[in-house]
Chains A and B, each alone.
Chain A
Amino acid sequence: MTEQGDPVAARATTVAAWKRFFSPENRYLAPAFITSILLVGHLSFGILESYTRTGLAIAASLVTELILGRLFIGKWPNLASAYITGISVGILVRSPAFWPYALCAMVSIMSKYVLRVKGRHIWNPSNFGISVLLFLAPETVASLSIQWGNYLLPMIVIWILGSIIIYRVRRFHITATYVVCFILFALLRSLLTGSPWQSEIAPLTGPMYQLFIFFMITDPKTTVRSNLWQSIVVAIVALVEMILRLDQLVYAPFYALFLVGPVALLLQLWFDSKRAVPAGARA
């Protein structure tokens, strides 16, 4: 009997297909999700500065990855990660000029090949590129810091979908820890500064944070290994962000991750090497 003739089997096949799609092994899950965010945001509200600028960021990212991958790894690399970087840059960078999009994408990808310790890159690529650009070219570049439209529904859809995907790839604890910490620190900031608590929570409701919490802080390549330490590190990111916010830094989340992420990773590498030495000695 064929599956076409058996509704139970057909349903099982469909479920299996969806499970495969939402499985941690599916490297195209995150690219598909970020593309859907882009499409929902742009078709609903026109969030992009322009198609050409976003396209430029994606193209620059993919081309840089292809060239560097071929040159330094000796094979054509999988482009899923570079695509996420390019599209993140295309959404998050806000500039009327074209060059920041290409430059940010190229710097982001190159950072993976240049800034390496023991074979690992230590910064999330787009976090590195955007932080560098915001720091060095503030007269030309800003980041997406506004709301997408007035409607709650698309936001809720993105939050739910993002949470499901992040859960399936076993990184939901990172996002959840960060969100809880952000809210607690926002309330603390409100107490310290006297600002309305709503204004302290407000950034979390914006699209910049959706990209930040779903894609940047959860990046498998630049987070530490154990779930517990991942949660601790991301809580420290939120703490550093709060301190930077008290100093009124607009792009506090990017800078906080820029500062904390590599330190955590370097510490892990250092501990790993300390552990490896006695093991080697025993051998």
Chain B
Amino acid sequence: MARILLATVFAGLILSPLVIKRLSSERASAKLDRRSALARHGFYFEEVSRAAGVDFVHQAPTLDSRLEHIMPQVASMGASVSIVDFDRDGWPDIYVTTSKEGAKNALYRNLHDGTFQNVAVEMGVADVNREGTGVSMGAVWGDYDNDGYEDLLLIKWGKPELFHNDAGRGFTRVTDQVGLPPWVNANTALWFDYDGDGLLDLFVGGYYDENVDLWHLASTKMMPDSFEYAKNGGRKYLFHNLGNGRFEEVSEKLGINSRRWALAAGAADLRGSGHTDLFIANDYGVSELYFNDGHRFHEVGEQTGVGFAPKSGMNASFGDILNQGRYSVYVSNISEDGVLIQGNNLWVPKEGTSGEHLQFENLARDFGVELGGWSFGAQFGDLNNDGTLDLYLTNGYVSLDHNRSYWYDFSKIAGGHSTIISDAKNWPAMEGRSLSGYQSKHLWLNDGSGKFIDVAQAVGVTDTYDGRAVAFADLWNRGVLDVVVANQRGPLLIYKNTVTPENQWVEFALEGTKSNRSAIGAEVTVFWNGEKQVQEVSGGCGFAAENQRRLHFGLGKNPQVQKAVIRWPSGRIQTIDHPAVDQMHAVKEPQ
């Protein structure tokens, strides 16, 4: 009898994964029906790029012929998107990069009528992928000289470029004057004022070693020397803005000295110290978190919990997901059924920890935002204006042959010793096979109590391109967040948002005076209906992306907004009592 009972329990345990799988699949969302999407979720998306006059398609580079057999996976990044109001007309514009040698980047000027016009050529920021100079990997905007116009930093696998914005009428290349290095294989950069001197500084994270010219390889030993412990990547740069149109490289002097393979970086004041901390999501290894004491950076990844388990970090974005006035950090990784289940990380501040003792715990599984395929860019934003931050994640690595996968060969080499994995010639040929291709995207709706529900298909996010960068912007000044997605070897997508009018909102466009004029690093905390939510003006976050500069807060139905508190990077606190809802508030830092 006991043996029969044991056998029954045994069989039940063996079958339990199937039951768990069944229960999980029942939660999958349905197809788009606009009316029911609006009723159930409060919003839906329409992909309008063509109607908006945007027909941009990213193209990949052709690297050294010795990488030909694995070219699709090596040349697998470079699609980026950044939002900027470059001409200060109050309407967000879009800058996008391509990565084919000789191909042109695009700057889409917002024409205020639902359409855009590519003005990159006439503005002088199109022809930036010339042979011998490398190709574009991303762009971030910041007003480094405080003249009121956002300047453009372009990162490449090649020579980084800085373009000065000449009052929105054109751009002047100032790379050689400011002191940028001759070659960086960079995939991430951001503007932030780390020392609070009112001048924007610049972080650039290298991926491949800066001595590697991917078009003229000295050696094929340029791949990571481990799948999860690699330290042979590119160096990191921290450029201190000297205020005279020049920058000084200070990374090592200030404690940033890493050769991990950086793919994404974000900066936010995680401890409420008044100083902006730096988070770096690294491929092939652990994430790094640098606490900033205003003078130096201190790496605290392991101490805080975010730098313990090595994964394949590809995104860093911040969001006050529980409306507690504290940021969580979302890092995307790789999950492929039956091969590699890293799971994405949602680093939530641990209860009872703060300041120097701040610790994070990964609650991605508990919150339902863990599995996202081969995940890339993600952003937090209130997409249905219900008062909680939602999460949009794009994914998909290499989509080639639908029916043949490279995963088996990839897993073989990933398990190999450093002498094997680090040499490209040891990697099996891809031969047209896909690697986590044609993946469905994720749009997780936050219910405000610690659960996210994936509604991507139900609200119209149905593409399966190889997504890389995601940026949020209220493209047509309607009080909603639209989504722009840059896809590798794919089209730029613009998901226009329609939100139920019952849900209200408020936006803040900040301009620093004592602080940097872009107001990067400024924090706004909105208090309403007993809730509070904090957001920070960012100089680049997610993966190869930059959101609109203004901050957008959803407020739900019939909000009673008590106040909005602005903490400027200078330290000045400004309170706006009862800000009007359904309005954008332009706020200049008090002198």
Contact = CB atoms under 8 A, between A and B. Distances in A.
Interface string A83-110: 0000000000011110110010011001
Contacts of A134: 338
Given A136-B18, A250-B407, A250-B408, A199 B413 contact: yes
A5 B308 CA distance: 50
B426 A198 contact: yes
Nearest to B302: A46
Given A68-B6, A250-B407, A137 B20 contact: yes
A201 B420 contact: yes
A149 to B, nearest CB: 5
Nearest to A249: B408
A147 B227 contact: yes
A199 B310 contact: no
Contacts of A95: 341, 343
A203 B425 contact: no
Given A107-B13, A137-B20, A96 B416 contact: no
Nearest to A155: B417
Nearest to B431: A194
A46 B428 contact: no
* The 7 A-B residue pairs with the shortest CB-CB distance in the complex, in nearest-first order: A202-B416, A138-B338, A96-B343, A248-B408, A137-B17, A206-B415, A205-B417
Contact of A196 (B15, B340, B362, B425): B425
A75 to B, nearest CB: 16
A96 B426 contact: no
B106 to A, nearest CB: 38
Given A72-B6, A107-B14, 6 more contacts: A147-B226, A149-B229, A195-B428, A196-B425, A201-B416, A206-B415
B10 A107 contact: yes
A106 B13 contact: yes
Interface string B200-231: 00000000000000000000000001111111
B421 interface: yes
A188 B342 CA distance: 32
Contact-residue size bin, chain B (C-beta under 8 Å from the other chain): 35 or more
Contacts of B371: 139
Given A202-B421, A203-B416, A103 B16 contact: yes
A96 B9 contact: no
B418 A203 contact: no
Contacts of A265: none
Contacts of A203: 412, 415-416
A236 interface: no
Contacts of B405: 248
B20 A46 contact: no
A249 B405 CA distance: 11
Contacts of B339: 138, 142, 145, 250
Contacts of A63: none
Given A114-B7, A198-B426, A142 B420 contact: no
A111 interface: yes
A205 B229 contact: no
B370 interface: yes
B23 interface: no
Interface string A132-171: 1110111111100111111010010000000000000000
B10 A49 contact: no
Contact of B21 (A45, A139, A200, A205): A139
A202 B309 contact: no
Contact of B6 (A94, A110, A148, A150): A110
A142 B340 CA distance: 5
Interface residues of A, number: 56
B14 A198 contact: no
Contacts of B35: none
Contacts of A277: none
29 contacts: A45-B310, A48-B309, A50-B308, A72-B2, A72-B6, A94-B340, A96-B365, A97-B365, A103-B16, A136-B18, A137-B21, A139-B21, A140-B17, A140-B20, A145-B339, A145-B414, A146-B227, A146-B414, A147-B228, A147-B229, A147-B415, A150-B230, A193-B428, A198-B416, A198-B420, A199-B420, A206-B416, A250-B407, A250-B408
Given A145-B414, A250-B411, A50 B428 contact: no
B290 interface: no
B429 interface: yes
A270 B229 CA distance: 49
Given A46-B309, A155-B417, A150 B18 contact: no
B225 to A, nearest CB: 5
A202 B415 contact: yes
B154 to A, nearest CB: 33
B204 to A, nearest CB: 25
Contacts of B364: 96
Interface string B506-532: 000000000000000000000000000
A195 B409 contact: yes
Contact of B421 (A106, A141, A147): A147
Contact of A150 (B2, B229, B413, B427): B229
A1 interface: no
B341 A132 contact: no
Q: Pick the most buried of B13, B340, B409, B412: most chain A CB atoms within 10 A of its CB.
A: B412
A138 B365 contact: no
Contact of A103 (B13, B24, B370): B13
Interface in B384-402: none
A152 to B, nearest CB: 7
Contacts of B351: none
Contacts of A199: 409, 412-413, 416, 420, 426-428
Contacts of B26: none
A192 interface: no
B113 interface: no
Contacts of B414: 145-147
A196 B3 contact: no
Contact of B415 (A71, A146, A155, A249): A146
B425 A250 contact: no
